Structure 1
Amino acid sequence: MSASHALVVSLRKSGTHLLKEVMTRLGYALHGEVSATADSQPRLKGEALWGVLTTVLDEEELRRLTTSEDRAAIDAAIAEAVTAFYGAWRMRLGIPWRGPEGEAPPRELVARVLTRTPSRFADTPRGVCWFLHQLDPHRVDEGFLNEWLDSGNPRIVFNYRDPRDVLLSMVNFLSGETGRGIGYFTDHRVYSGILRSAGSFEERLTIALTDPSFPGADAFERGLWLLRHPAVCKVSFEELVGPRGGGSREIQSAAVLRIADFLGAEGDADGDPAGLVDELFNDRAYSFHRGRIGAWREHFTPEHEKLFEERYGTVLDAYGYR
């Protein structure tokens, strides 16, 4: 079992699937803005489950739950309470619901949880790693942010990638090159239609470089506070991707060990880092396309490079991609 609460902020198209593999192998269940298999989703029981139920349900609801003999009704009530609990924490972390409306957390229960005395993140079930694509200090619940600043809980890992490869990957993704859909991000749906109607790939890149509302356009600037904060573990796609993506196995192993040490985790990386890094590169990941370092060089024209420099030159400097 993982030794700490954890939160991964992985900028869109920066290799989130690599961190998913790391965190799963280190013993974490996954939650938040990440697709997860049934085996990697949180499964609550015992004290952890009771803690969630007492947070969500009132005394009468708890009484009915504990005295009922209807197994199906009990299971449904528990599932609804757990969904509401995590739904409230989604809101506290500034994560909007992006799935189908019919699958959204129950609003009345979520509202009830939010109006009660704010709970500590430390009281949420252990062994769960939240995945976010951004952590905006202006949108996150102040209680959560103060708890992290005072206690260091949860441990935060920040993942990023060369902004030029991120932009190229986003263009490929929204153009339908991955062949597995574009998910529920509203801006993905908007710009997928725009890019698919463009006449050429060069035109698509130009749109991405000149439209201020293009998905992820301001993500690197908004992530600068995470890059600069000393209590955040920073890791890049280039470090994690390994030789199959054009990187180094030695650098990959060192990055995984750094994450495991930062988390105090007791997973495969502690005793056998090779057993973990050999399986990080997953070309079956939902939005996987090519997953290689420096692919932007094959597609950017001199004009694209000029546009990128004008708009994102300071980002390249800040993140060390000169």
Structure 2
Amino acid sequence: MTASHALVVSLRKAGTHLLKELMTGFGYSLHGEVSAAAEIQPKLRGDTLWRVLTMVYDEEELSRLTESKERAVVDAAIAEAVAAFYGAWRIRLGIPWRGPAEEAPSPELVARTLARTAARGFADTPEDVCWFLHQLDPHRADEGFLSEWLDTGNPRIVFNYRDPRDVLLSMVNFLSGESGRGVGHFTDHRVYRAILRNAGSFEERLTIALTDPCFPGADAFERGLWLLRHPAVCKVSFEELVGPRGGGSRQLQSAAVVRIADFLGTDGDPVQNPADLVDQLFNDQSYSFHRGRIGAWREHFTPEHEKLFEERYGTVLDAYGYR
């Protein structure tokens, strides 16, 4: 049986879409810092929905809600409660709100939910939901969440990374508009889109990415070292998961799928016949997809870029095994 709660920490431009397809294939709904179609977003019903409502509204409000004959009012209250509940957990996990301000959950309801659920654990969140984060900072995440994970192993955490040189190249392509789908709601993406588009050449853009300490994701690999080193975290790389269509191998891809499935406790076809699932992973229609290939940095880095990278990220290459 699959672990009822899972959390994927996937560094930006490290192949999040591969994990998205994989976790969906395992039967999880998706939430957090990932673009998810409506059909794979969490659907709360029955006892699960009621449990969430009780974490947001008090008894008097719940009574009015159950007695109301106005369906539109009830639906709106439910939607606001669910948004506030997930908003409270975003704060506890250290995930800032990325969407438009007008779509943000009610600050009042979020604050109330935080207060009402301070002693509640991640195990009380809806089951069969996989949260996606681009970073899990132990200094920003809720201590209760971290303690629960350390004591119980819940949720199961998967950490996804990629060759830092390809990550940097992919981010430059993305912010330069090469994916053709915009840069999303990350504020730093919007800032550096303007900066990179103002640069005179692609070489200049790479130089900016290699020398600007605030460039998006500049410190992500260092901040992820604790996940790479922790024995209770399942580690997987883009190079393992991307498969032949991205310059990898079918053998590594299948082995990675089986390893993650085993870590999550998944039973059934994905474990017995990984080929049935690996064919779904490489999705070139993903929101930020550009090329999705291993070693593309070799086609663009000049000797000067390689020197700059080594000076700044040489220890990262060693730590993540990319020598």
Give the TM bin, normalised by the shorter chain.
Answer: over 0.9
Distance 1:206 1:274 in 2: 40
Distance 1:126 1:267 in 2: 19
Distance 1:25 1:59 in 2: 39
Q: CA deviation at 1:28?
A: 0.3
The residue number in structure 2 matching 1:5 is 5
Distance 2:34 2:62 in 1: 31
Q: Is the 8 A contact 1:25 1:268 kept in 2?
A: no
Secondary structure at 2:63's aligned position in 1? helix
The residue number in structure 1 matching 2:194 is 193
CA distances 1:204-262 after superposition (whole Å, capped 9, x unpaired): 00000000000000000000000000000000000000000000001000101111110
Q: Is the 8 A contact 1:3 1:263 kept in 2?
A: yes
Distance 2:34 2:101 in 1: 17
Whichever residue aligns with residue 166 of structure 2, its letter is: D
The residue number in structure 1 matching 2:65 is 65
The residue number in structure 2 matching 1:273 is 274
Whichever residue aligns with residue 81 of structure 1, its letter is: A
The residue number in structure 2 matching 1:245 is 246
Distance 2:119 2:23 in 1: 27
Whichever residue aligns with residue 260 of structure 2, its letter is: I
Q: CA deviation at 1:46?
A: 1.1
CA distance 1:99–1:151, shift in 2 (3 Å): same
CA distance 1:267–1:175, shift in 2 (3 Å): farther
Distance 1:285 1:196 in 2: 23
Distance 1:64 1:268 in 2: 46
Whichever residue aligns with residue 55 of structure 1, its letter is: M
Q: Which runs of 5+ in 1 are unaligned?
A: none
The residue number in structure 1 matching 2:174 is 173
Worse-superposed segment, 111-120 or 297-306: 111-120
User: Structure 1 length as normaliser, TM-score?
Assistant: 0.99
CA distances 1:8-39 after superposition (whole Å, capped 9, x unpaired): 00000000000000000101000000000000
Q: Is the 8 A contact 2:6 2:129 kept in 1?
A: yes
Q: Is the 8 A contact 2:7 2:158 kept in 1?
A: yes
Q: CA deviation at 1:65?
A: 1.0
CA distances 1:118-168 after superposition (whole Å, capped 9, x unpaired): 310011110000000000000000000000011100000000000000000
Worse-superposed segment, 270-279 or 92-101: 270-279
Runs of 4 or more off by more than 4 Å in structure 1?
none
Secondary structure at 1:8's aligned position in 2? strand
The residue number in structure 1 matching 2:312 is 311
The residue number in structure 2 matching 1:206 is 207
- Asked if 1:30 corresponds to 2:27, the answer is no
Whichever residue aligns with residue 25 of structure 1, its letter is: G
Q: CA deviation at 1:268?
A: 4.1
The residue number in structure 1 matching 2:49 is 49
Distance 1:270 1:67 in 2: 47
Q: CA RMSD in A?
A: 0.9
Secondary structure at 2:266's aligned position in 1? coil
- Asked if 1:157 corresponds to 2:152, the answer is no
Worse-superposed segment, 60-69 or 242-251: 60-69
Distance 1:312 1:202 in 2: 18
Q: Is the 8 A contact 1:242 1:252 kept in 2?
A: yes
CA distances 1:25-83 after superposition (whole Å, capped 9, x unpaired): 10100000000000000001111111101111100111011111111111111111001
- Asked if 1:80 corresponds to 2:59, the answer is no
Q: Is the 8 A contact 1:27 1:266 kept in 2?
A: no
- Asked if 1:17 corresponds to 2:8, the answer is no
Q: CA deviation at 1:266?
A: 3.8
Q: CA deviation at 1:267?
A: 5.8
Q: Is the 8 A contact 1:2 1:267 kept in 2?
A: no
Distance 1:78 1:30 in 2: 19
Q: Is the 8 A contact 1:26 1:268 kept in 2?
A: no
Whichever residue aligns with residue 96 of structure 2, its letter is: P
Among all aligned residue pairs of Structure 1 and Structure 2, give the percentage whose two residues are the same amino acid.
82
The residue number in structure 2 matching 1:101 is 101
Distance 1:72 1:95 in 2: 30
User: Structure 2 length as normaliser, TM-score?
Assistant: 0.98
